[in-house]
Amino acid sequence: MKTCDICNKNFTQNSSLVVHRRVHTGEKPYSCDQCEKTFSSNSDLTKHKRVHTGEKPFSCDQCEKTFTTSSSLTMHKRIHSGEKPYKCDQCEKYFSQNTSLIYHKRIHTGEKPYSCDQCGKTFSSNSDLTKHKRVHTGEKPFSCDQCEKTFKQSGELTLHKRVHTSEKPYSCELCDKHYTSSSDLSKHKKSVKHLKMIKRRINTVPTSVSINFIECEEVYIKEEIKEEVFVEDPLSIQMRADNIEENIKQEIEDPLSCQQNYDEDRIDTIDIVHHKIEI
């Protein structure tokens, strides 16, 4: 067993200890001949080169998506299995990746160990720092293969490509409008036009139904919406309206059920009448 003399971590092979020590020394003896990026191990350099070659030798047997590393494939498979083996000991949230758990824990600790050497701004993850640095350098490494427009982040490129494909994967549940980004959908839901549509939907919810029974007395049931309406949650308003409408429909499905005892706490008014009322 080989032990690191700095952090006391143990390794079964001396070569693994040699690579590990570079974490402490910062040594990166392996460099890419295409972009001059350096790495602490030859295996990391091999993985990096696939960025330039486009090679993705690891494929998912469920959706045929391909990956540059076996670890990326392992993490991807958890999307299909739903496995989340990493748990936060402070809020019991679960994660599919250990790195996601590490980043998440910094929400609780407030730790931001990555700092920009140009403006001093700090970040909780190295990837966030990398994205930030492009503000200073002006680098735009992500380019569109259709119009050659360039972007600072891959997410920006993904959104841009929808201009060419006309894809609109985000839809409003209430009015069935579609949008290219989640932010555009959020803006729509806060718009005056959308809120007016919610109000119209609530106003059209039936508040009373006359039920015509066969050869028996007729019951008039009045349902009222007692809950306070919050305009900032339009989906719950729609669901509540749909549920009330469905409950009323269920009441009239069985016209011979007039002998049942209605819960007076649920039904505001029950009037027994002795003449026929058409629905």
pLDDT in tens, 188-224: 888 888 888 777 776 665 544 443 333 333 333 333 3
Q: Residue 195: what pLDDT?
A: 83
* Two structure tokens written together for 263: 């819960």
Asked if the model's pLDDT at residue 175 lies above 90, the reply is no
Strand partners, 46: none
Interval 233-248 mean pLDDT: 50
For the chain, the domains span 1-77, 84-165, 168-204, 206-273
**The CATH fold of domain 1-77:** Double Stranded RNA Binding Domain (3.30.160)
> Quick check: 273 and 207 in contact, CB under 8 A?
no
> Quick check: 79 and 65 in contact, CB under 8 A?
no
pLDDT digits (tens, 9 = 90+) for 11-68: 999 999 999 999 999 999 999 999 989 999 999 999 999 989 999 999 999 998 999 9
**pLDDT band at 239; cut points 50, 70, 90:** low
Q: In whole numbers, what is the pLDDT of the chain averaged over residues?
A: 77
| The residue type at 89 | D
* Residue 229 vs residues 232, 237, 255: alpha-carbon distances, Å: 9, 7, 32
> Quick check: 207 and 222 in contact, CB under 8 A?
yes
Residue of 81, 101, 78, 83 whose CA lies nearest to 91: 101
| The residue type at 262 | Y
Strand partners, 222: 208, 269
The span from the CA of 86 to the CA of 78, in Å, is 12
pLDDT digits (tens, 9 = 90+) for 110-127: 999 999 999 999 999 888
Percent of the chain clearing pLDDT 90 (strictly above): 49
* Two structure tokens written together for 168: 């609109």
**pLDDT band at 243; cut points 50, 70, 90:** low
Decide: helix, strand or coil at residue 143: strand
Asked if the model's pLDDT at residue 105 lies above 80, the reply is yes
> Quick check: 203 and 230 in contact, CB under 8 A?
no
More confident residue, 170 or 263: 170
The span from the CA of 186 to the CA of 181, in Å, is 9
Residue of 223, 211, 191 whose CA lies nearest to 260: 211
CATH number at 84-165? 3.30.160.60
On the question of a common fold for 1-77 and 84-165, the answer reads: yes
Asked if the model's pLDDT at residue 270 lies above 50, the reply is no
Judged by average pLDDT, the poorest of 11-15, 105-109, 232-236 is 232-236
Q: Residue 194: what pLDDT?
A: 81
